[in-house]
Structure formats: structure tokens, C-alpha cells
């Protein structure tokens, strides 16, 4: 609405201005920003547009001081929404406003009422933004104390596959994945590039058109976002640069609309027809780009977030909680507990790994972390999966739902050593005699130590990567042991179940549209939904008899519904016996009995004071 007001009161009619405002806000990069839940960027665009509209009214109005107070509210809102990152936008907006007032009013801009208006903007903005400014200062004080600057740094790409090209601000992107370049081999690549260059040329023409018509008020929309991006982008990582471009994109499309006015004038007598036709084509291209984005978007995992909230609420008041996965909304939905998302960039404590690695956006199994760091947390919340290691022996499970388990550290035995045993997509591995012997040799004399071995439930698996696959399932270079879909397809293989019983079916991967697992021709497991890296979905119970079974995973074609167009990432299919894991206590003298056995981990501990085969939550 704010952009429609500026357009309709400067260079366009009211009706055309409404169309211009709507199309500008539909710019694909901005639309994608909204789809992925980047509410701060959408908030900045909204407040910046409102401030531009109020500034335009201030320039044209007869009561500049009263309007200045309203503008001060909008300016304060920009800072409140975007914190310190909003300050460059405020400075660029107010500087542009001063320039426009001088261009429109000339020497009269130095009269007392305009000086009073400037003072009113500043006072209103400072007073209303004062709490935010105080929180900014407090944040930097706290952040400088808690952020571990020695943590391994990432590439700065965040969820981007590559830095975004500047031309992408043109609002056209005829591909669902805005984060990666469109392959030159795709037909959409040429159409996208042509459309972006047309928008860019029209945006440059707009400046000429504003000067010719002597309507500099439109600069209030164009300059703040563009100038801020130009000044800030060289000093930030690509992920932050993408946010600058998303905020700038509506201004570029807005400018292109003004450029169409110039085009209609220059090409007369056919100019108006050409400009109108081009406007229809560009608007259609932006709408189609947004349709691709919606089709390939990630639908929020609502059920999982609700269950994370349940798990966190159960742990409320119990002290710090280690959350070892990467979940963008964990801090919000887990706010009921003192949740530490250890792999985020800004967190109270970063994950401490046995082998240093990049942290951001990663899931780290408990056995990949140092024992001391894990045991320093009195509580743990972890995703349920067949590959998740059991917490150390001192912990007991106190809560479980479909997606999460919560564990609490008890007063139990002191851990003297920990031998993690883990394979790819598997919580267990064979224990070598050399490793068990080294653990035993570390036992202090006279400590009365014993060994505790963690047994995971029995499981069978189909490795999709090595199975018979249709041509549409190709290896995923970014996710070990996985395939990704280029077309609908299937994978087939056989598994041998050792004993009859009830099992739970799991599939690792990301499933924007449903994938189905068939056992002996009958559909038994369906998995669907956006998933976090390296995690699993499923948990459905099914009965399996001892012997061989034919397993098939089918990924059907997508429909037109939102979220159904993105590629599916598909990893192993695992059937896990529906029974709890167990802990086994072994005297040091019998350490060789653990050699060659499939185990989750072995710990060297002081006496447990429990029976030698104690059951625990899986």
C-alpha cells in the first residue's frame, strides 16, 4: 500500500500505482525471503516503504512538522525491526529526504518550519528507538563475551549454494531454487537473463524519467535500499549480501516501472503499446517466478515443531539443555527450556567436537562430541533416529514423543573413559580388540572400574545408493550415502530379517513430497516433510517375519501444490526392532568378550551398583 501511494502520487495514476506497488512487492527474491520465514527482512521492507510514503507526504504537505513526527515513528520502527543493521537504511532515507526537499523547495527548504520538521523526525525517532538502541548495546556486550570466535568458520553462504548475482534483484527467476544459479542448459536460463537485463536497463532509464518530469520524490523509494546495499555489501558475507538484495529488490522493480514510462515516451508513436506489452510480459515473468518458488518451497514441519515444544516444556526448570541438531526455529519452539543449540553461530556454547569441523547448519551425533562437553549438560534433547547414539551411561530417558527424546543426567557412575563406536547412518560398529584394550589400559589402579557397553536394538537396512535404481535417482554429491531426484523414480533391494517381531521403519532424507516404502509389494511406511540435515523421518510400526523381504522405495511425481516441486533427498531405509536398548556391565577381566561385537559405545566407569544387564531407554 505504501509503494502504491508513492507511485500513484508521483508519476502514475492511482490505479496504475496500485499495480506498480503490488508487482514491486512480488519481486521473486523478496517473495522467496517471505516464504523462508525471514520476517526481519520483510519487516524492514514494509517499514522502509511506509517511511518513504510518509516522507513523500512530508515533502508535498502543508504541515511538515506533524508529518515529521509520523515519519519519526516509521524510522524508529526500522531500527526496532532490524536492530543495528537498520541504521544504514535510516541514514540513507533521511539523507535522501533532505536532498528531495532541496530539489523540490529550493531555498525555502532552509526556512524554520523545515528545520523544525527535521528536528521533529530526529526527536521522535530517538525517543521511540531508545529501548532498541539500549538492547543493541547490551547485545554486543553479551555477544562479545559468549561468542567463541575460535569456532570453525563457514563459507558465509548460509543456505545459499553460491553468492547471488546482482542482477537477481530484478525480480525474475524462472526456477524454484533461488539459492543456486540456473544451469545454462535449462531453457529457463536465457529467458531469466533476458528478463533481468530488461529490468536493469529500465531501472537506469527511470532516473532520466524522474529528472525529465521533475518528480524526485520517487527517489525516496529507490535510493535508501540501493545506497545501503552498495555501501554495506562489500564488507559482508554472501548470506548477508543476499538479505541486502532481497530488501533492495522491490525498489528495483519499482524503478523499472518508472523506466517503462520513459520507454513509452522515447518510442512514440508505438511507445505506449510497446511499454504496455512489456509491462504485461515482465509482470507475468515475476508471477511465474513466484509460482516456481511456491512450488519448490519448504513447508514448515508444523508437527515436529509442536513436539519440540512439548519436549522443551517437559524440561523446563531443569537447567541447561543440550540440543545437538540444527533446527532454525529451535530457540523459539524450545523456549520453555534453557535450550542451547550448540551448532548455531550465536549461542551460549558451541559444540565441542572430537575432530574439529565446520559447525553451522550441521547435526552432530553425541558420539562425535567430546565426552566432557556432553556430560557438562545436565539435560539433553535429541532427535529420534536409528543412527542416534545413546547418551552416556549416567543419563536416563525421561520423555519421548514421535520426534524427540529428552534425557537427564543422574548421580550415577563417574565416567573414566568413552569409546564411541559408530558407522555411517548407524549408531553401532564392531568393537576392535585394540580399541577395547586401550580403553582398559587407561583404567586407574585401585579404582574398581568396570566396563559398560551400550547395545542398540537390532536393525536391517537397505542402502539406496547401492540398490537397483531408476534413472531419476542420482547420487547426491553433498550428502554422503544419499541420492537425489531429478525425475520420479524408485529404488529396489532385499533385506534379511534375523528374527520375527515388530519393527519401526525409518528413512533418512528430506521429503518435500511424500516417499513410500513397500515391503513385499505392500506400502508400509510413508515419509513426508522438510527435514534438517542428516536426519530421519518415519518410526511407523510394522510386523516383519524372519527371512528375506523385497523392499522398494518409490518417489512419485510432484503435483501443483505448494512445496511439491523440490528435489527429494533419499538415504538408507532402516527397520529397527521395536525394543529398548540396554546397558551391559562387564568386569575388566572379561574385556575380550566385547571384541568384535556390534555396539553403540563402551565406557570405563566406576561401579554402577546395578545388575549386569540393566535395561535403559533406547
Residue 83: left (phi > 0), alpha (psi -120 to 50), or beta?
A: left
Q: What is the pLDDT of residues 451-500, one digit of tens each?
A: 999 999 999 999 999 999 998 899 998 888 899 988 899 999 999 999 99
CATH of domain 464-572: 2.60.120.260
Across 225-276, where does the E strand assignment appear? none
| pLDDT, mean over the chain | 89
> Mean pLDDT over residues 565-577, rounded?
92
User: What is the C-alpha to C-alpha distance for residues 225 and 405, in angstroms, rounded to an integer?
Assistant: 45
More confident call, 539 vs 184 = 539
User: What is the C-alpha to C-alpha distance for residues 244 and 562, in angstroms, rounded to an integer?
Assistant: 26
Q: What is the pLDDT of residues 222-265, one digit of tens each?
A: 999 999 999 999 888 888 899 999 999 999 999 999 999 999 88
Q: What is the pLDDT of residues 268-277, one digit of tens each?
A: 888 899 999 9
Grid coordinates of 321:
539443555
Question: Taking the C-alpha atoms of 215, 216, 218 and 221 in order, what is their torsion angle to the nearest 10 degrees?
Answer: -170
pLDDT at 496: 96
For 49-69, letters b (16+ CB in 10 Å) and e give: bbbbbbbbbbbeeeebbebbb
Helix (H) or strand (E) holding 409: strand 404-409
Across 456-577, where does the E strand assignment appear? 459-462, 468-469, 473-475, 483-485, 489-497, 501-519, 522-529, 536-544, 547-555, 569-577
- How far is C-alpha 307 from the chain's CA centre? 19
pLDDT band at 616 (very low <50, low <70, confident <90, very high): very low
More confident call, 149 vs 429 = 429
- Give the rounded percent of residues in the chain with a pLDDT score beyond 70: 95
Grid coordinates of 537:
523421518
Is the pLDDT at 610 greater than 60, yes or no?
no
pLDDT at 143: 53
User: What is the C-alpha to C-alpha distance for residues 340 and 616, in angstroms, rounded to an integer?
Assistant: 25
Say whether the peptide bond before residue 269 is cis (omega within 30 degrees of 0): yes
* CA distance readout (Å), 62 to 53, 58, 66, 68, 219: 15, 8, 9, 12, 20
Side-chain-side CA neighbours of 560 within 13 Å: the count stands at: 2
Grid coordinates of 509:
532424507
Helix (H) or strand (E) holding 48: helix 39-60
pLDDT band at 152 (very low <50, low <70, confident <90, very high): very low
Q: List the domain boundaries for the chain.
A: 2-145+164-295, 299-411, 414-457+579-618, 464-572
Q: Which residues contact 62 (CB under 8 A, 6 or more apart)?
A: none
For 547-556, letters b (16+ CB in 10 Å) and e give: eebebbbbbe
Tell me which of 80-84, 170-174, 359-363, 487-491 is least confident.
359-363
Tell me which of 225-234, 286-295, 316-325, 358-367 is least confident.
358-367
More confident call, 445 vs 582 = 582
> Mean pLDDT over residues 606-616, rounded?
49
Is the pLDDT at 611 greater than 50, yes or no?
no
Q: What is the pLDDT of residues 355-389, one digit of tens each?
A: 888 777 778 899 999 999 999 999 999 999 999 99
Is the pLDDT at 142 greater than 80, yes or no?
no
**Residue whose cell numbers read 511425481:** 557
Question: DSSP secondary-structure letter at 403?
Answer: S
Task: Work out whether the CA dihedral 581, 388, 479, 509 comes out positive or negative.
Answer: positive
Amino acid at each position: 500500500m505504501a509503494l502504491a501511494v508513492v507511485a500513484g502520487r508521483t508519476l502514475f495514476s492511482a490505479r496504475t500505482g496500485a499495480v506498480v506497488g503490488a508487482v514491486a512487492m512480488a519481486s521473486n527474491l523478496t517473495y522467496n525471503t517471505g516464504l523462508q520465514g525471514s520476517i526481519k527482512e520483510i519487516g524492514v521492507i514494509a517499514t522502509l516503504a511506509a517511511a518513504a510514503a510518509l516522507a513523500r507526504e512530508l515533502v508535498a504537505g502543508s504541515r511538515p512538522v506533524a508529518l515529521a513526527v509520523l515519519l519519526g515513528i516509521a524510522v524508529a520502527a526500522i531500527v526496532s525491526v532490524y536492530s543495528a543493521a537498520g541504521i544504514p537504511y535510516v541514514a540513507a532515507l533521511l539523507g535522501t529526504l533532505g536532498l528531495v526537499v532541496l530539489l523540490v523547495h529550493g531555498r525555502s527548504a532552509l526556512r524554520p518550519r523545515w528545520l523544525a520538521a527535521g528536528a521533529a523526525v530526529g526527536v521522535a525517532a530517538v525517543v521511540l528507538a531508545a529501548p532498541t538502541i539500549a538492547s543493541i548495546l547490551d547485545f554486543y556486550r553479551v555477544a562479545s563475551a559468549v561468542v567463541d570466535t575460535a569456532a570453525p568458520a563457514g563459507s558465509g553462504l548460509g543456505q545459499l549454494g553460491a553468492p547471488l548475482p546482482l542482477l537477481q534483484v530484478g525480480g525474475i527467476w524462472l526456477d524454484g531454487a533461488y539459492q543456486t544459479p540456473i544451469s545454462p542448459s535449462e531453457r529457463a536460463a536465457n529467458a531469466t537473463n533476458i528478463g533481468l537485463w530488461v529490468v536493469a536497463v529500465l531501472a537506469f532509464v527511470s532516473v532520466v524519467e524522474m529528472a525529465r518530469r521533475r518528480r524526485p520524490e520517487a527517489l525516496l523509494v529507490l535510493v535508501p535500499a540501493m545506497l545501503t546495499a552498495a555501501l554495506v555489501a562489500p564488507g559482508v558475507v554472501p548470506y548477508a549480501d543476499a538479505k541486502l538484495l532481497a530488501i533492495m529488490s522491490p525498489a528495483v522493480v519499482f524503478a523499472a516501472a518508472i523506466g517503462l514510462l520513459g520507454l513509452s515516451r522515447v518510442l512514440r508513436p508505438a511507445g505506449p503499446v510497446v511499454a504496455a506489452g512489456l509491462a504485461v510480459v515482465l509482470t507475468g515473468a515475476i508471477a511465474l517466478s513466484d509460482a516456481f518458488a511456491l512450488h519448490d518451497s519448504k513447508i514448515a514441519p508444523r508437527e515436529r515443531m509442536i513436539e519440540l515444544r512439548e519436549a522443551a516444556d517437559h524440561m523446563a526448570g531443569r537447567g541447561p539443555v543440550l540440543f545437538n541438531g540444527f533446527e532454525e526455529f529451535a530457540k523459539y519452539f524450545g523456549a520453555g527450556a534453557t535450550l542451547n543449540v550448540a551448532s548455531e553461530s550465536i549461542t551460549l556454547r558451541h559444540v565441542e567436537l572430537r575432530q574439529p569441523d565446520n559447525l553451522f547448519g550441521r547435526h552432530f551425533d553425541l558420539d562425535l562430541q567430546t565426552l566432557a562437553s556432553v556430560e557438562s549438560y545436565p539435560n539433553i534433547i535429541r532427535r529420534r533416529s536409528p543412527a542416534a547414539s545413546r547418551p552416556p551411561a549416567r543419563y536416563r530417558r525421561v520423555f519421548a514423543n514421535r520426534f524427540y527424546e529428552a534425557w537427564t543426567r543422574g548421580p550415577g557412575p563417574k565416567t573414566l573413559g568413552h569409546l564411541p563406536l559408530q558407522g555411517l547412518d548407524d549408531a553401532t560398529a564392531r568393537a576392535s580388540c585394540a580399541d577395547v584394550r586401550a580403553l582398559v589400559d587407561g583404567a586407574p589402579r585401585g579404582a574398581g572400574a568396570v566396563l559398560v557397553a551400550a547395545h542398540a536394538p537390532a536393525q536391517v537396512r537397505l542402502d539406496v545408493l547401492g540398490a537397483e535404481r531408476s534413472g531419476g535417482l542420482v547420487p547426491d554429491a553433498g550428502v554422503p550415502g544419499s541420492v537425489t531426484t531429478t525425475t520420479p523414480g524408485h529404488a529396489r533391494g532385499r533385506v534379511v530379517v534375523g528374527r520375527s517381531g515388530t519393527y519401526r521403519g525409518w528413512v533418512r532424507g528430506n521429503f518435500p513430497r511424500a516417499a513410500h516404502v513397500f515391503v513385499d509389494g505392500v506400502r508400509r511406511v510413508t515419509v513426508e516433510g522438510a527435514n534438517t540435515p542428516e536426519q530421519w523421518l518415519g518410526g511407523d510400526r510394522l510386523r516383519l517375519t524372519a527371512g528375506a523381504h523385497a523392499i522398494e522405495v518409490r518417489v512419485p511425481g510432484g503435483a501443483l501444490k505448494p512445496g511439491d516441486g523440490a528435489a527429494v533427498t533419499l538415504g538408507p531405509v532402516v527397520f529397527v526392532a521395536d525394543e529398548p536398548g540396554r546397558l551391559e556391565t562387564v568386569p575388566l577381566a572379561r574385556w575380550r568378550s566385547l571384541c568384535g561385537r556390534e555396539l553403540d559405545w563402551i565406557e570405563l566407569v566406576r561401579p554402577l551398583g546395578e545388575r549386569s544387564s540393566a535395561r535403559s531407554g533406547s
